[in-house]
Amino acid sequence: MSSGAATYDLGELHGGLRLPDEKAESTSTEIQVLPVPGQLVLPIAQHVGRPAQPVVGIGEHVLKGQLVAEAYGSLSAPVHASSSGEVVAIEPWPVSRRFGDNAPCIVIECDGEDRAIETADAAVPFNSLDPESLLKLILQGGIVGLGGAVFPTGQKLMQAATMPLEHLILNGVECEPYISCDDMLMREQSAEILGGAQILLHALKLESCFIVVESDKPEAIAAIGEALGVLGDARITLKQIPTIYPSGAEDQLVQLVTNREVPSGGLPTDIGCVVQNVGTAAAIYRWINDGEPLISRVTTVTGPGVHNPMNVIARIGTTVADVIEFAGGYTDQADQLIIGGPMCGKSVTSDRVPLVKATNCILVLNETRSVGAEQPCIRCGECASVCPIQLLPQQLFWHARADNEPKLRSYGLTDCIECGCCDLVCPSHIPLTANFRNAKARIQELADEKARAERARVRFESRNERLKNEKRVRETELAKQKQAAVKAGPTAIEEILKRQKQKQDQDRDEDAD
């Protein structure tokens, strides 16, 4: 079968739900390009890991694509200016990634010229670089996982490269309602996605790539298939999977495509697979081929609270208010603002929050979902039947309420992906996912507290050992001096004893400290 043809995978997903897609309106028009806004707000933490460190100051003029915050530490990603303008502030600003809390941001007043930094006239072909050099170059592009995890892509690829790999999997599955940015990206930018796939194959020294799309996206499947036919790269295969939520979750996708199960607490690389979002692949292509770091992304803006649902290419740092205005503004039905989808998104109370690298959807609903009053668990087992991880949510719920950390661990709480399936089917309206999320936070707090106590214990024991060693050295030296004094006569002995007493007094003072 040619690489352009799509095949159905034989993998099976336990549980899950078939949800209404709610995507017809946002996919009815082509992707629109949002104009340069008057102001950009760039959080320095748009990724998993340590925040980037600003390398620009207030009053400095910056250009599009210029580095404004450099990666800090082994798990971090740089941030680049999305347009040209003046840095007017580096200050806390409300951001969606932290549940509405303020976080340090670089604020740029755009000059409207959108001038870019100078780049080389011709990019170096990726296949002329050795894989290690290519991975280091990807590190510099500020690219993170655009499927939601926002793990720094360079570090993820470098970690993967140390493992025995077989397959690269590009995730084009959008199983959550309303979100359609990847669908539209595959329809309109399939060549960039395939170009990114080839770069990744070279960087990881792989010969197998699966581009995975749900069966309810015929336009995306056709576009990818046509681009594959033109490219003629036999290493890349298009696969369709059934439309069921949450088949797009990383571990579930690997199981569907390869019939291999990611071990508890493990990673896809443990079973020979590395997964990247199709948007991430396209961003890698633009960085390596065109020299454009991750400064924009395709985002869905939709819901009954928006006049013109659509997908837009927006600069990172554009406020949600500016995106909503471009989409025609709010309707009279606008009641709830969510960053992300209705299942895993975060509700925010202000549209001043900026669009960040993780923002795949801006959803405006017409009412806050009412699920009814919470009732006692009736032990119906529906939650277990839909859990894609095959956990026992009912048992986890009881142990979460009891704050029983050992039991929570033994029942696999840390494997919960917080997809929300159990919430939807619970007839007692128990907020199971919220309970699990809070329990995870408590477990993490306990782990952090234990780590702090261990570090304090090591410091205390190290100090005691150092003091003992210093005391032994002093006692040895005094003994040598005493032996020498015995040979020298009574006056020298008295002097040695006097100094010895002073040292003992000093030791007692240090021990008291």
Q: Tens digits of per-residue pLDDT, 52-80? A: 999 999 999 999 999 999 999 888 999 99
Name which residue leads in pLDDT, 28 or 11.
28
Residue 490: pLDDT band with limits 50, 70, 90: low
Name which residue leads in pLDDT, 259 or 507.
259
Establish how many alpha carbons lie within 13 A of residue 253's alpha carbon, considering only the half-sphere containing its beta carbon.
27
Using the 8-state DSSP alphabet, how is residue 81 labeled? -
pLDDT over threshold 60, residue 99: no
Q: What is the pLDDT averaged over residues 376-393?
A: 94
Residue 3: pLDDT band with limits 50, 70, 90: very low
Q: Are 171 and 311 in contact (CB under 8 A)?
A: no
**Residues 166-206 pLDDT 10s:** 999 999 999 999 999 999 999 999 999 999 999 999 999 99
Q: Supply 183's token pair.
A: 């669908």
**Residues 325-369 pLDDT 10s:** 999 999 999 999 999 999 999 899 999 999 999 999 999 998 766
Task: Specify burial of residue 15 (Cβ count, 10 A radius: 0-12, 13-18, 19+).
Answer: buried
What does the pLDDT read at residue 369? 60
**Residues 253-286 pLDDT 10s:** 999 999 999 998 899 999 999 999 999 999 999 9
Q: What is the pLDDT averaged over residues 129-135?
A: 95
> Residue 333: which region, alpha, beta or left (left: phi > 0; alpha: psi -120 to 50)?
alpha
CATH 3.40.50.11540, domain 25-302, yes or no: yes
Every domain of the chain and the residues it spans:
25-302, 382-439
What does the pLDDT read at residue 44? 95
Percent of the residues in the chain that have a pLDDT greater than 90, as a whole number: 77
pLDDT over threshold 70, residue 370: no
pLDDT over threshold 80, residue 489: no
Report the C-alpha gap between 371 and 427 in whole angstroms. Answer: 10
Name which residue leads in pLDDT, 11 or 116.
116
Q: Name the least confident of 114-118, 366-370, 448-452.
A: 366-370
Report the C-alpha gap between 415 and 265 in whole angstroms. Answer: 7
* 439 Cβ contact partners less than 8 Å away, ≥ 6 residues apart: 396, 399, 400, 403, 408, 413
